[in-house]
Amino acid sequence: MLSESSAAVVAATLPAVQANGEAITDRFYQRMFDAHPELLNIFNRSNQATGQQKAALAAAVVAYAEQLTGGSSVPWGPILDRIAHKHVSLGITATQYTIVGRHLMAAVGEVLGEAVTPEVAAAWDEVYWLLACELIAREARLYTEAGVPENGSVWRDWRVTGKVRETADVVSFTLVPADGGPVPGFTPGQYTSVAVDLDGGRGQQIRQYSLSNRPGGDHWRITVKRVRGVDGGPDGMVSTFLHERVEVGDTLRLSPPFGEVSAVPGEGPLVLVSAGIGLTPAMAALEHLAVTEPERPVVLVHADRAGTAHAMRDDLPRLQEKLPNLRMRLWYEDVTDSQLLGLTAEVASGRVDPELIPVNPDAHVHLCGPVPFMNIVRGGLLRRGVPSERIAYEVFGPGMLRDERV
Ligand SMILES: Cc1cc2nc3c(=O)[nH]c(=O)nc-3n(C[C@H](O)[C@H](O)[C@H](O)COP(=O)(O)OP(=O)(O)OC[C@H]3O[C@@H](n4cnc5c(N)ncnc54)[C@H](O)[C@@H]3O)c2cc1C
Ligand code: HEM
Q: What is the pLDDT of residue 57?
A: 85
Check pocket membership of 90 for ligand 2, CB cut-off 6 A.
yes
Residue 260 lies in a domain: no
Q: Tell me, yes or no, whether 61 and 175 share the same domain.
A: no
Measured distance CA(348)–CA(120) in Å, rounded: 58
How many angstroms separate the Cα of 390 from the Cα of each of 149, 267, 404? 35, 11, 14
Q: If you take atom 2 of ligand 1, which residue's CA is the nearest one?
A: 396
pLDDT surpassing 60 at residue 404: no
- Sheet strand arrangement including 270-275: 346-349, 326-334, 298-306, 270-275, 364-368, 391-394
Q: Tell me, yes or no, whether 400 and 341 share the same domain.
A: yes
Q: Tell me, yes or no, whether 245 and 373 share the same domain.
A: no
Residue 240 lies in a domain: yes
The question of whether 139 is a catalytic residue gets the answer yes
Q: What is the pLDDT of residue 56?
A: 83
Q: What is the pLDDT of residue 401?
A: 44
pLDDT surpassing 90 at residue 98: yes
Q: Tell me, yes or no, whether 292 and 395 share the same domain.
A: yes
Q: Which of 57, 64, 81, 142 to mutate to test the pocket of ligand 2 (most atoms within 8 A of CB)?
A: 57
CATH number of the domain that 334 lies in? 3.40.50.80
Q: Tell me, yes or no, whether 275 and 390 share the same domain.
A: yes
Categorize the per-residue pLDDT at 16 as very low, low, confident or very high, splitting at 50, 70 and 90.
Answer: very high
Q: What is the pLDDT of residue 339?
A: 64
The question of whether 332 is a catalytic residue gets the answer no
Q: Tell me, yes or no, whether 278 and 173 share the same domain.
A: no
Q: Where are the alpha helices (DSSP H) in 222-355?
A: 237-245, 280-292, 316-322
User: Mean of the pLDDT values across residues 226-249?
Assistant: 96
CATH number of the domain that 32 lies in? 1.10.490.10
pLDDT surpassing 60 at residue 76: yes
Domain limit, last residue, from 123, 145, 167 = 145
Residue 326 lies in a domain: yes
Q: Tell me, yes or no, whether 247 and 359 share the same domain.
A: no
pLDDT surpassing 50 at residue 403: no
CATH number of the domain that 167 lies in? 2.40.30.10
Q: Which of 66, 126, 139, 287 is catalytic?
A: 139
Q: What is the pLDDT of residue 402?
A: 47
Residues 6+ apart with CB under 8 A from 280: 209, 210, 211, 212, 222, 223, 368
Residue 264 lies in a domain: no
Cα of 206 to ligand 1 centre, how many Å?
10
Residues in the chain: 406
Mean pLDDT of the chain: 93
* Domain of residue 46, residue span: 4-145
User: Mean of the pLDDT values across residues 367-374?
Assistant: 94
The atom number, within ligand 1, closest to the CA of 207 reads 17
Q: What is the pLDDT of residue 150?
A: 87
pLDDT surpassing 80 at residue 406: no
pLDDT surpassing 60 at residue 405: no
Residue 261 lies in a domain: no
Residue 263 lies in a domain: no
pLDDT surpassing 60 at residue 400: no
User: Mean of the pLDDT values across residues 376-382?
Assistant: 94
Q: What is the pLDDT of residue 96?
A: 97
Q: Tell me, yes or no, whether 177 and 138 share the same domain.
A: no
Q: If you take atom 52 of ligand 1, which residue's CA is the nearest one?
A: 396
Q: If you take atom 34 of ligand 2, which residue's CA is the nearest one?
A: 43
Across the strands, what pairs with 249? none
Q: If you take atom 18 of ligand 1, which residue's CA is the nearest one?
A: 207
Question: Pairing state of beta strands 220-225 and 203-210?
Answer: unpaired
- Neighbour count for residue 245 (Cβ, 10 Å): 12
